[in-house]
Amino acid sequence: MLTETAIRLAVFEWLKSREPWNNGIFPGRELNEGIQIEGRRITLKGQTGIWFPAGFSVPLSITTSNKGPYKLDEIGDDGLLTYAYRGTDPDHRDNRGLREAMRSRTPFIYFKELEGHKYQAIWPVIIIDDISSRLCVRAAIDPAYRDLRPDVEFTNITESPLDVRRYAWSQTRQRLHQSAFREMVITAYDSRCSICRLNHPELLDAAHIIPDTDERGTPVIPNGLSLCKIHHAAYDKNILGIDADYRVHIREDILLERDGPMLRHGLQELDGSSINLPHKTGDRPDPDRLDERYRIFISA
């Protein structure tokens, strides 16, 4: 029979195996239903923010909900997550579980809700401080807990230095923002490429109109386009442009080329067509941003 530690690490491995395909974003329903591990169903999150699967003595996950009552939950500039107790009773079973996780240095998962009941999975997270006077704990990602064996004793692991944990959080926060941007943009376009309407989300990207390297390239839906990977690459390389009236333009030298059907149908025949727009007016590409980017296309 698998130990609680072995199940915990098996869940971590499952999350890791899914990450290349979903950028670490999981539907809430999938997490609530759980996964099968050697014939046993393990739920990854539940109705409460601090979640113990059946039989667990230490939480497997904590969750921050967009509509939850706990406004304290946040990742600070110091790279640490401040996470609120459940309720106001420090001796509540869930709060005791958080303190036990700190005492035993047991890693768990942090689920951060995005939109549409989808959650970003962040792990392995450990609790490094209990602030009962403020009814909260502080937690950090610790890379030292990344690759573990089922027979591991968590208290034998040397915690990473503070600067390493801060760097891990900064990288995670950047990835969280990128994943959230992708999720919002692709959802706004009904999971289709705005140019060719390809309906395979795994082949879609959220393209920035104004690049994110520009201070104006904010990760908001009106600065994004849902594009399949080939049209994203063409947009980034100024092979393809989109003007402020939402029309597609193909660079002149590309129009004059003679090649196979991919060039003809995938690019040349799109010249002069209109992109497909989100249903919500507020989600549509910002014409001013499109115009600025289109001028770069013309100059190229």
Distance CA 128, CA 81 (A): 10
Radius of gyration of the chain measured on its C-alpha atoms: 23
Distance CA 234, CA 241 (A): 8
Q: Is the per-residue pLDDT at 72 higher than 70?
A: no
Whether 29 and 43 have beta carbons less than 8 Å apart is answered as no
Sequence-separated (6 or more) residues with CB below 8 Å from residue 30: none
Q: Who has greater pLDDT, 226 or 120?
A: 226
Q: Is the per-residue pLDDT at 259 higher than 70?
A: yes
Please report, for the chain, the start and end positions of each structural domain, with discontinuous segments joined by +. 4-175, 189-299
63 — pLDDT class (breaks 50, 70, 90): very high
3-state secondary structure of 37: strand
Distance CA 176, CA 265 (A): 35
Q: Is the per-residue pLDDT at 74 higher than 80?
A: no
Task: Read off the pLDDT of residues 167-193 as tens digits, 9 standing for 90 and up.
Answer: 888 888 777 778 888 989 999 999 999
pLDDT of residue 19: 84
Domain at 4-175: CATH code: 2.30.280
Q: Angle CA(162)–CA(168)–CA(174) in degrees, nearest 5?
A: 135
pLDDT of residue 233: 97
Give the best-scoring range by mean pLDDT among 5-14, 68-77, 146-155: 5-14
Average pLDDT over residues 248-277: 95
Whether a cis peptide bond, with omega within 30° of 0, leads into 59 is no
Average pLDDT over residues 289-293: 97
**Alpha carbon 248 to chain centroid distance?**
30
Other beta carbons less than 10 A from residue 37's beta carbon: 15
What is the distance in angstroms between the CA of the first residue and the CA of the last residue of the chain? 63
Task: Read off the pLDDT of residues 91-128 as tens digits, 9 standing for 90 and up.
Answer: 999 999 999 999 999 999 999 887 668 898 999 999 99
Residue written as tokens 């699967």? 53
37 — pLDDT class (breaks 50, 70, 90): very high
